[in-house]
Structure 1
């Protein structure tokens, strides 16, 4: 089935250089091979923007490294955990142990360094 466009042709704004695409595929494959043995290990990750994250490698897919991080109230970045309760409020019982871990997906192409801690 073909699609007929009756308006003006859309202009290409950006198209990646085939050599860059091939290089990025190589970077992705290298990251997979490097990180795969370290699933469930504690690591420190630095992004190309200079952000540092500490956590445990929870998994990977073709685009992301999934890092389990523990949230605290002092963290500058806003992670959302609907079950996080820093202390019980008046009239409410203590909710018991709460898991303050969240999964942070990091884009593979934005990672600069990963080191074991």
Structure 2
């Protein structure tokens, strides 16, 4: 069985600044207090990367917000949609289309959340 302990002292590549860690804990607490009353409400979420998502807040844990989104079941030209089924309800080997999915969003990457 391989072991990863070589007996040599480890070299720290990165260590977060304690002030940043404390600030991130505050941001997480603020998000929980702000979003918890809006569970099961429709919202629009913008991430720090500029992505926009619209859906219903399905839940939260210490690291993620779970957003229930509607999956587009219409075929898009040039793109493969694994949820699309041209003949719904025909059974095996083709399942019925899935219209909803849960999208986990990392709390620290959320820039704005607004009610829709």
* TM-score higher than 0.5: yes
Residue 90 of structure 2 corresponds to 93
Distance 1:9 1:71 in 2: 49
The TM-score normalised by the length of structure 2 is 0.79
Find runs of 4+ consecutive structure 1 residues off by over 2 angstroms.
77-80, 92-99
Unaligned 5+ runs, structure 1? none
Aligned residues: 106
Distance 2:24 2:101 in 1: 28
Residue 59 of structure 1 corresponds to 59
Distance 1:79 1:63 in 2: 28
Deviation at 1:87, TM superposition (A): 1.8
Task: Give the superposed CA RMSD.
Answer: 2.7
Q: Give a deviation string over 1:4-31, Cα, whole Å, max 9, x none.
A: x552211000000110000000000000
Call closer, same or farther: CA 1:107–1:26 in 2, change over 3 Å: same
Unaligned 5+ runs, structure 2? none
Residue 68 of structure 1 corresponds to 68
